[in-house]
Amino acid sequence: MDEKKLWQDCADFHGHECAGLTIGYKAALYAIELLNLQKAEDEEVVCVSENDACGVDAIQVILSCTVGKGNLLFHLTGKQAFSFYERKSGKSVRLVLRPQKTGLSREASFKLHQSKSPAELFDVKETVIELPEKARIFDSYICADCGERTGSQWMRLRGEDRLCRDCFKMYSRFDI
């Protein structure tokens, strides 16, 4: 694996080089090492990211985990943590960024993260989220109010009418 080219591919996709991109880049490389991963053609590899920051772009490039394929999922906790799963073997790992120096300039933070190995950056933990099921394909229906096609899983009923979540108004006598 040509890591220099891989880094450039990540930076090109993301649009610039930064510490955040480095975090995802090193997390993906570490997951490959720990779980013996290959780039995902479909949903063989799954990533559950606990943030929606820059590093997620590197994970998309390196492991081909994407929202559209259903193998990049978000469990937003605000943590620089990523759970990786390999479906065939059943193995998984949660990588959590160790506390770093604060108050650094963007440039200094970038250099610091670039200088460290993945093992120096991340604590390796057991995953706490079960491996999500494979993505499903849902029937879809037309919302009775806005006329937009919506997946059945996200429809609500008002009498006999099917409504999308945007058009459906919850009823509660206790919400203020």
Asked whether residue 90 falls in the same domain as residue 141, the answer is: no
pLDDT band at 105 (very low <50, low <70, confident <90, very high): very high
Q: Do residue 34 and residue 115 come from a single domain?
A: yes
By residue count, the chain amounts to: 176
Its domain, for residue 169, covers 136-176
Instruction: Give the burial class of 3: count Cβ atoms within 10 A of its Cβ; 0-12 exposed, 13-18 middle, 19 or more buried.
Output: exposed
Question: pLDDT per residue over 115-126, tens digit each?
Answer: 999 999 999 999
* Residue spans of beta strands (DSSP E) within 2-158: 45-49, 72-74, 81-86, 91-97, 122-125, 140-142, 149-151, 156-158
Same domain, 79 and 154: no
Let me know whether 161 and 102 are in one domain. Answer: no
Amino acid at residue number 79? K
Q: How many domains would you assign to the chain?
A: 2
> Could you report the per-residue pLDDT of 128-175, keeping only the tens digit for each?
999 989 988 899 999 999 999 999 999 999 999 999 999 999 878 886
Q: β-strands 149-151, 72-74: how paired?
A: unpaired
pLDDT at 13 > cutoff 80: yes
32-87 pLDDT per residue, tens: 999 999 999 999 999 999 999 999 999 999 999 999 999 999 999 999 999 999 99
Instruction: Give the global pTM.
Output: 0.86
pLDDT tier at 176 (50, 70, 90 boundaries)? low
